[in-house]
Amino acid sequence: MEKELVEYIVKSLVDKPEEVQIEEKEDDRSIVLELRVGEGDIGKVIGKQGRIAKAIRTILSASVTKNGKHAVLEILD
């Protein structure tokens, strides 16, 4: 569910939504989402001073907290 949420948000922000890739790694207490976007779209996902990335991480954390887990969003080049 968390992967789909982040994917929906990111695809609505970028110019090349078909190039968005998210890999999910999960263990007992945490979820790690590794995000890759197309060339030139990384700035749109991070935003000025990281505000968009921070907002996405906040939404993601709120989504997983109800299950007692911790979420990490890694934005990769």
Q: Give me the tens of pLDDT residue by residue for the chain, a chain 77 residues long.
A: 889 999 999 999 999 999 999 999 988 889 999 999 999 999 999 999 999 999 999 999 998 888 888 999 999 98
CA pair distance 53, 64, nearest whole angstrom: 17
3-class SS at 50? helix
pTM for the whole thing? 0.90
CA-closest candidate to residue 64, choices 32, 39, 35, 40 = 32
- Residue ranges of domains in the chain: 2-76
**CATH number for the domain formed by residue range(s) 2-76:** 3.30.300.20
